Amino acid sequence: MIKKFRPLFAVAVLAALLTGCASGVKYSEMASAIPTLKADQGRIYFFRSSSMMGAAIQPEIRLNDEVVGKSQPGGFFFVDRPAGQYRAASSTETEKTLSFSLEAGETKYVRTSVSFGALVGRVNPTLETPELAGKELPSLSFTGETAIAK
């Protein structure tokens, strides 16, 4: 009897994994439409590779305690903020944080990645180099809300 349900189970698992990935406009398709940065602002890109590991784990990302988006596999978003000190955080079973400074005119790249936890995976924010982020961003889908949508 269990053998009868294996194909159904496999389809259900595949569907769950595919729905966990970001969908939408790719960075490569929208890069020219991204607004230019205001002189007194810096830009922070948040992104996550399209790995299926922990695809169902999609916590909110907070920047200085303000929710700015979600960590979604295969997705990216960005926020523009004034120069200053920032703390990016995500929470599953425990909170993981990243502190950094942002200068006017500067762009920072924050990668979120899943690691093993005791009960649930953890999403860790880390700073990424512009070179590595630039190689990965073109294949990722936009998951944020900014002036582009308006």
When the candidates are 3.40.50.460, 1.10.1040.10, 2.60.40.1120, 2.60.40.3500, the CATH number that belongs to 2-149 is: 2.60.40.1120
- Output DSSP code: residue 96: E
pLDDT digits (tens, 9 = 90+) for 54-84: 777 888 999 999 999 999 999 999 999 999 9
For residue 37, what pLDDT band results from cuts at 50, 70 and 90? Answer: very high
Q: Pairing state of beta strands 141-142 and 75-82?
A: parallel
Q: Is the C-alpha dihedral spanning 63, 144, 132, 134 positive or negative? A: negative
Rounded CA-CA distance 104/25 in Å is: 28
- Output DSSP code: residue 132: H
Percent over 90 (pLDDT), the chain: 61
Predicted structure pTM score: 0.79
Asked if 76 and 142 count as a contact pair (C-beta separation under 8 A), the reply is yes
pLDDT of residue 94: 80
Tally of residues, the chain: 150
Please give the structure tokens belonging to residue 2.
């269990």
Mean pLDDT value across residues 78-91: 96
pLDDT of residue 102: 98
Question: Is the confidence at residue 93, as pLDDT, over 70?
Answer: yes
